Amino acid sequence: MALKKFRASPKSTQPFKTGNRERRQKLHITRKKALDNTRRDERFRRRREEDKDPSLREERLRKNVPLTLERKRVWDDLDDDIGDGLGVSVDAERLKRQKLDQDDPLDADEAHSIQQEDAESSDPANDRDSMIDSASESDRPPTKPSNPPKRHKSASERATSPTTPNQSTNFDLTPSALTTRFPTLFSTTPSLPKTLITTSLNSTLHTEAHLLTTLFPNSIYIPRSAHRHSHKYSLREIASFATNRAYTSLFVLKEDQKKPTGLTFVHLPAGPTFHFSISNWVEGKKLPGHGRPTDHNPELILNNFRTPLGLLTAHLFRSVFPPQPDFQGRQVVTLHNQRDYIFLRRHRYIFREKRESEKSVIGPDGKEVKGVEGIRAGLQELGPRFTLKLRRIDKGIQRASGQEWEWKGRMEKQRTKFQL
């Protein structure tokens, strides 16, 4: 049974524009109460109908999808040659799939047919017995091709990119042009990272810089002074100093009004240089129920880096952490990309038995994960937490920032297009 259309009561439509202020207020209150009562009656009536027919509730929940920016995300066209893909917003998985289609169209057709068979097998209408519900081809009467009437799509159906669960970054999708452009960043031989952390001139962020040394393994903080009798070392000179001492990366923490506002990442020995802005910095001791970090190498989780620029940024952060974590420390650092904002969090986890009042672990498909029905994971945040946003990528290590850049954030604002 279809749901009835919402109808307002006669009291809710009465005019309340009058010159008397007290009467206008009373009319507004009366109209508001009438609308609330009508909506309440509609809600209870819908509940009674859905209790009788649960399919109505499933249909309503299926259509009731919030139209967020992630669902309206748009991608650039893949027809032309995009090169390394830094300046365009393309999905690396789609890019690689299109390249495979061009190289071997036979395999692409087979993969497409398999996908169609899987889609048909997952259709609930095909789960019925074909010998009962379907007639043979010879018994069917000839049907005339008819043009079905065009149906206007809903707001959720018009979304160009459906919401997908948080997926881990797949580094196998990195374009080859990006690998040849940054050979030092995409080296095949993993090496133990060694990071030098410093600040801008006359900085007061000594505590925050020491916190970064606990976040990034095998790192050291060296204060940067600008005394009138001392030499003011430039970023290029500091990078040369760090390269001669076998450092693999250089961090420069920037501040404004005694708060961290920027982070410059220099990949040694020859760049490139990444410029990030920092927001929402919260120290670990200010987090409720926080823990104390240990010296164990943490595990690294990189989520939702899908474009070539996102894969380049993910490779940059992966080069800072050791390839082999210390699992006995049970520490994990998460870099989650959402709408081009990178949220950094550090937790300690523990596996325990599930209590009777708790639910089982649910996967991205909404079903319970098999094999871990009686296990739950507890998290304790260690800190610090902050949010990064990529602003610019410079070529090499420059004397003055911004002279030559590989990528720069676009000045025009299109809210439905993301770069990472």
- Pick the residue with more confidence: 395 or 12? 395
pLDDT reported for residue 248: 92
Mean per-residue pLDDT, 178-199: 85
Lowest mean pLDDT among 148-152, 230-234, 246-250: 148-152
**How would you label 33-57 residue by residue, b for 16+ Cβ within 10 Å and e otherwise?**
ebeeebeeebeeebeeebeeeeebe
Mean per-residue pLDDT, 25-29: 89
- Pick the residue with more confidence: 399 or 19? 19
pTM above 0.85, yes or no: no
Q: Looking at the predicted structure, is the pLDDT value of residue 358 above 50?
A: yes
Beta bridge partners of 356: none
pLDDT tens, 55-101?
A: 999 899 888 888 888 888 888 776 656 666 677 788 877 777 777 77
For strands 259-267 and 299-303, give the pairing.
unpaired
C-beta separation of 327 from 349 below 8 A? no
Q: Which one, of 275, 282, 389, lies nearest residue 341 by Cα?
A: 389
pLDDT reported for residue 412: 60
- Rounded to whole angstroms, the Cα distance separating 360 from 368 reads 6
Mean per-residue pLDDT, 24-50: 92
Query: Which residues does 401 contact at the CB level (< 8 Å), separation at least 6?
Result: 235, 264, 273, 275, 394
Is the preceding omega at residue 384 within 30 degrees of 0, hence cis?
yes
pLDDT reported for residue 321: 93
pLDDT tens, 108-149?
A: 455 455 455 544 444 444 444 333 344 444 444 455 445 555
C-beta separation of 270 from 396 below 8 A? yes
- Rounded to whole angstroms, the Cα distance separating 198 from 223 reads 6
Beta bridge partners of 265: 251, 274
pLDDT reported for residue 77: 75
- 7, with CB counted inside 10 A (0-12, 13-18, 19+), is exposed
pLDDT reported for residue 7: 58
pLDDT reported for residue 42: 93
Percentage with pLDDT > 90 across the chain: 36
pLDDT reported for residue 106: 54
Is the preceding omega at residue 298 within 30 degrees of 0, hence cis?
no
Q: Which one, of 318, 332, 329, 324, lies nearest residue 296 by Cα?
A: 329
Q: Per-residue confidence at 172, pLDDT binned at 50, 70, 90?
A: confident
Q: Per-residue confidence at 48, pLDDT binned at 50, 70, 90?
A: very high
Compute the mean pLDDT over every residue in the chain, rounded to the nearest whole number.
79
Is the preceding omega at residue 272 within 30 degrees of 0, hence cis?
yes
Long-range contacts of 118-121 (CB under 8 A, 24+ apart): none
Lowest mean pLDDT among 79-88, 151-160, 294-303: 151-160
- Rounded to whole angstroms, the Cα distance separating 182 from 319 reads 13
- Rounded to whole angstroms, the Cα distance separating 378 from 285 reads 19
Lowest mean pLDDT among 107-116, 301-310, 368-377, 398-407: 107-116
pLDDT reported for residue 3: 47
Lowest mean pLDDT among 198-207, 295-304, 368-377: 368-377
The one-letter amino acid at 232: K
